[in-house]
Structure 1
Amino acid sequence: MFKGLEITVIYNDPMMIEPKPEVIDASITEVRNEIEFIVNSLEDAGFRVKVLPVYNSRRFISDLLNLKTDLIYNFCEMVELESIEEVFAAGLYELLRIPYTGAPPMTLGLCLDKARTKIVLSYYNIPTPKFEVFKEPLNGYAKVNLNFPLIVKPVREDASAGITKESVVYEVKELEERVEFIIKSFKQPAVVEEFIDGREINVAILGNNPPIVLPISEIDFSKLPEHYPKIVSYEAKWIPNTEYYEKTIPICPAPLEPELEEKVKEIALSCYRITGCRDYARVDMRIDKDGNLYVLEVNPNPDLSRNAGFMRSASVYGLTPAETIVKIAEIALERSYANKEVQK
């Protein structure tokens, strides 16, 4: 039905930004290779494909004003160097009435803010670790009504930015130092939550009517050194040849008891709907030693790289990475052009 339509792949290209990023890692260097793969996958499926790199706000707006396309494949996670800019990009698509893949601006903005997401989920009785937000360093004065150990994160970042083995703290002095580091380094508040020491699972979801939970993935921390907190740090995702990268091993499907698996799926689908996700998303959870589930975050635009967790779950489900890319485009087209005639 949709073959022959034009899709524009929009992605942020950090290597074109001036000044260049201070740190160049896999989150940057692999971008162009993955975009090439996505373009090839869509072209092989019969779509006409254009590519629009994003690296400057004014140039981006000008390009969008002149864009004629049937669908934007939205990989824009920032415009220049701020994560919040992904919300503005989707807002521009909405204003210009251009269909696009993935979540709308309100969902992107909500899920980017870890604290607000937790407040919304808690309202709907979705379990999530207890937390507090600090806009200023503690300086020995602020009282923390949480139980140690705690984990400290930037409130508005994704891709595990700001999460290292020092993020898990065990006493007040460590907490004060880490909160001050996050506030000063990321120029935003720090969210502090009770650390759930247990299993970590990732729940990939695909589609809209109805959304489908793909095979659940688990991160195996058993190979990490004893003194390393069992977390998925920035290194684990993006820095090869580090302990975290080499020794956090994904397992898919996760070995879960049937009753627990059904509960995970139920909670993940609730999060998907509550936060307004669409087309695809991922929900990250922890399971404590007593089998209690806690939602860590909802990711409405998870990484779709070939070696990413979402693709791993899709592969176990029976979709190749190329088929997954095409499927997401088809899902977005079906949603966008329901009851409308598509002009080829």
Structure 2
Amino acid sequence: MVFNLVEDDDWKLYLRVGHRLEQLGRVQVGHDMKSFRYVINKSLVKRRMAKERITTPNFKIFNRRSSIRSYGLSYPIIVKPARQHAGIGIAQDSVVNNFDELKKHISNLFSQFPGEVIAEEYIDGREIHVTILGNDVNIMTLPYCEIGFGKKSKNKWKIYTYNAKWDKKSWEYWNAHVQSPPDISSCLQNKIQELALKAYTTFACRDIARFDFRIDSKNTPYIVDVNMNPSLNYYDEEDATIASVYALKWTYDQFIETVAGVAYRRVLGS
């Protein structure tokens, strides 16, 4: 039983290790490499969600030959690289208010990162992360986790940037806090669960995955990210999945044993 904890900026090493483990017939916790290769291209994910009617913010995708147009999108718009993860390429200036800012930021991202750029309508509201465990009919959602933004977010965009996730010297890091479970209505909880479970099946997730939602003023949930390889970082006090685990009153060891057991049953049966 293998937890592939390799992490690199472009996932190349992670994929090499994963493919080799598959060739050796080793049981890996989580996704297969074919599905993972698909979801790390966020452009494909956005198009698939639109096709499957999984609610996601309205969007446009640009490549280096595209004519940049915002027709059909309402400002503010958040702009992000399509092939990055862990908040890379997302900052306060990722949210733009007009066409000139949009063009400038898309150009900046092209100069920094390979691949396409996604521009999607910014959802002004709460951010909730949902971790799912299981396979087939034996699937459970962990208690939801909300990313709360503190007082320093006044007059700032309430987004979970790279700095908010990783840079302890940044005001954003100390301003973002996890809360599990969040205070939400049963109606909203059901809407979120329905979307998360549909996405879990649509993208052929296995064992464990996390979905990041934004909730608008009308309590409409939108999936903004699909993460087949969620962080399981014991040492990160603001890790959304771990916060959800602790909300169940599980220990970290119990959680890891549970995930391993889910993978074991998938491969070898009960």
Give the TM-score normalised by structure 1.
0.73
Which consecutive residues of structure 1, in runs of 5 or more, have no partner in the other structure? 1-70, 340-344
Partner of residue 238 from structure 1, selected from 160, 163, 166 = 166
Which residue number corresponds to residue 97 of structure 2? 170
Within the alignment, does 1:142 sit opposite 2:68 as a pair? Answer: yes
Q: How many residues align?
A: 265
Which residue number corresponds to residue 253 of structure 1? 181
Q: What do you get for the CA RMSD once the two structures are aligned?
A: 1.7
Partner of residue 108 from structure 1, selected from 18, 36, 48 = 36
1:108-162 residue CA offsets vs partner (Å, 9 max, x unmatched) = 1222111211211222211101111111287xx5322221111111101111111
Which residue number corresponds to residue 7 of structure 2? 77
Paired with 2:69 and 2:46, the residues of 1 have a C-alpha distance of 21
Q: Secondary structure at the match of 1:324?
A: helix
Identical residues among aligned pairs (%): 31
- Check whether the contact 2:59–2:119 (CA below 8 A) recurs between aligned residues: yes
Within the alignment, does 1:281 sit opposite 2:213 as a pair? Answer: no
- What amino acid maps onto 2:5 in structure 1? F
**1:1-344 to 2 correspondence within 5 Å?**
71-78=1-8, 81-136=9-64, 142-145=68-71, 146-208=73-135, 209-306=137-234, 307=237, 308-338=239-269
- What amino acid maps onto 1:99 in structure 2? V
Deviation at residue 296 of structure 1 after TM alignment: 0.5
Q: Secondary structure at the match of 1:211?
A: strand
- What amino acid maps onto 2:59 in structure 1? F
The structure with higher relative contact order (CA 8 Å, sep 6+) is 2
Paired with 1:93 and 1:120, the residues of 2 have a C-alpha distance of 28
- Check whether the contact 2:129–2:144 (CA below 8 A) recurs between aligned residues: yes
Paired with 1:250 and 1:223, the residues of 2 have a C-alpha distance of 15
Q: Secondary structure at the match of 2:89?
A: coil
Paired with 1:227 and 1:301, the residues of 2 have a C-alpha distance of 33
- Check whether the contact 1:203–1:284 (CA below 8 A) recurs between aligned residues: yes
- Check whether the contact 1:204–1:216 (CA below 8 A) recurs between aligned residues: yes
Paired with 2:247 and 2:222, the residues of 1 have a C-alpha distance of 24
Q: Secondary structure at the match of 1:75?
A: coil
Q: Secondary structure at the match of 1:304?
A: coil
